Structure 1
Amino acid sequence: MTHDAQRSSTNPTPPEPSAPSDPERPVEAPEKLFSKTYLAATTTFAAVMFLTGLAALAVIPTLPTAAEALDGVSLFPLVAGCFVAASLFGGVLGGHWADRSGAHRPLAAGMALAVVTLVVSGASTSIWHLAAGRFLDGVSAGMVAVAVNTAIGQSYPPALRPRALALMSTCWIVPSLVGPPLAGVVAEVWSWRTVFLGLAVLTLIPALAVVAVLRGASWSATPTAEAAETAGATRPPLLLAATVSVGAALAQYGVSGWDPWHLLFAAGGLVLLIAFTPRLLPSGTFRAARRLPVTVLLRGLGSGVFFTLEALVPLMLVTDRDAPPLVIGLAFTGAAIAWAAASWVQGHLLTGWSRHRLVQVGAVVLALAVVVAAVGTSGSLPPYFAASAMVVAALGMGLIAPSLTVLSLAHSPAGRQGYASGAMQTSQNLGQISVLGIGSAALNVCLAVGTDRSAGYATAFVLLLVPCLLTVLLSARTRHP
Structure 2
Amino acid sequence: MEGHPRRWAILIAICAALLVIVMDNTVLHVALPAITAAFGATAAQQQAIVDAYVIVFAGLLIAAGAASDRYGRRRAMVIGLTVLGLASAAAIAAPSTWWLIGARALMGVGAALVMPATLAVLVQVFPPRERPKAFAAWAAAASVAMAAGPVLGGYLVDAWSWAGVFLINVPLAGVAVPAILWLVPESRDPRARPVDPLAAALVTAGMVALTTAIIALGEHGRPSPLVLACAGAAVLALAAFVLRQRRASTPVVEFSLYRDRRFAGGSAAAALLTVGTGSALFVLTQYLQLVLGYDALRAGLAVMPLAAGTVLGSAAGARVPSRIGPRATIVIGFAITAAGFALLAALTPGSSYPLVAAGLLLAGAGTGLAGPSTTTTVLGAVPPERAGMGSALNDTHQQLGIALGVAVLGSLLAATYRTGLPAAVPDAARASLAATLTHDTVRLDAALATAAREAFTGAQTLTMLTAAGCALAGAAIAATVLRRD
TM-score range, shorter chain: 0.7 to 0.9
TM value normalised by structure 2 = 0.77
Aligned to 1:406: 376
1:317 equivalent in alignment to 2:288 = yes
- Which residue number in structure 1 is paired with residue 301 of structure 2? 330
Match of 2:227 among 253, 263, 276: 263
Q: Which residue of 2 aligns with 1:181?
A: 151
Give the distance between the partners of 2:197 and 2:96, measured in 1 at CA.
Answer: 37
Of 296-305 and 35-44, deviating more is: 35-44
2:406 and 2:202 map into 1 onto residues whose CA distance is 22
Counterparts in 2 of 1:103 and 1:295: CA distance versus 1, 3 Å: farther
Partner of 1:143: 113
For residues 59 and 368 of structure 1, the distance between their equivalents in structure 2, rounded to whole angstroms, comes to 26
Indicate the SS of the match to 1:443: helix
Could you tell me the percent identity over the aligned residues?
Answer: 20
After superposition, the Cα gap between the structure-2 partners of 1:145 and 1:394, relative to the gap in structure 1 and judged at 3 Å, is farther
Q: Assess if the C-alpha contact under 8 Å between 1:161 and 1:406 holds in 2.
A: no
Partner of 1:458: 461
Give the one of 196, 209, 212 matched to 1:250: 212
Contact 1:255 1:437 in 2 (8 A): no
Which segment drifts farther, 126-135 or 429-438? 429-438
How does 1:120-139 map onto structure 2 within 5 Å? Answer: 120-139=90-109
* Residue of structure 1 in register with 2:394 after alignment: 424
CA contact (8 A) 2:90 2:103 kept: yes
Q: 1:84 to 1:418 in 2, by over 3 A?
A: same
**Aligned residue number for residue 24 of structure 1:** none
1:241 maps to 203
Deviates more, 1:77-86 or 1:449-458: 449-458
Tell me, yes or no, if the aligned pair for 1:121 and 1:134 is still in contact at 8 Å. yes
1:62 aligns with 2:62: no
Letter of the 2:86 partner, please give it. V
Equivalent position of 1:392 in the other structure: 362
| Contact in 2 for aligned 1:409/1:417 (Cα 8 Å) | yes
Query: In the alignment, is the contact (CA less than 8 A) between 2:30 and 2:296 conserved in 1?
Result: yes
| 1:354 and 2:325 aligned | yes
1:297 equivalent in structure 2: 268
Shift of 1:374: 0.9
Partner SS, residue 94 of structure 2: coil
2:474 is the alignment partner of 1:471: yes
Corresponding residue for residue 255 of structure 2: 283
More helix by share: 2
Counterpart check, 1:368 vs 2:339: yes
> What is the letter of the counterpart of residue 340 of structure 1?
V
The 1:161/1:428 distance shift into structure 2, 3 A limit, reads farther
Deviation at 1:13, TM superposition (A): 6.7
Number of the residue aligned with 2:194: 232
Summarize deviations over 1:214-262 as a string: whole Å, max 9, x none: 6525xx4x33x4x42xx33999822323322432452354245115255
Q: Which runs of 5+ in 1 are unaligned?
A: 1-11, 15-34
- Which whole-Å deviations, capped at 9, do the CAs of 1:78-136 have from their partners, x for residues lacking one? 11121221112231222222443564443333222221232122111111111112112
TM-superposition CA deviations, 1:4-63 (whole Å, max 9, x none): xxxxxxxx577xxxxxxxxxxxxxxxxxxxx97964664444343344445554444223
Contact 1:243 1:272 survives alignment (8 Å): no
* Residue in 2 that maps onto 1:438: 408
Q: 1:343 aligns with which of 314, 319, 324?
A: 314
5+ unaligned residues in a row in structure 2: which ranges?
246-251, 422-454
CA distance in 1, matches of 2:126, 2:374: 17
Match of 1:5 in 2: none
Preserved CA contact (<8 Å) 1:166 1:347: no
* Contact 2:317 2:371 (8 Å CA) reproduced: no
**Does structure 2 retain, via aligned residues, the 8 Å contact 1:98–1:105?**
yes
SS, match of residue 385 in structure 2 = coil
Q: Aligned runs of 1:151-230 on 2, under 5 Å?
A: 164-172=134-142, 174-175=144-145, 178-197=148-167, 199-213=168-182, 215-216=184-185, 220=187, 222-223=188-189, 225=190, 227-228=191-192
User: Matched residue of 1:136: which SS?
Assistant: helix
Q: What amino acid does structure 1 have at the position aligned with 2:212?
A: L
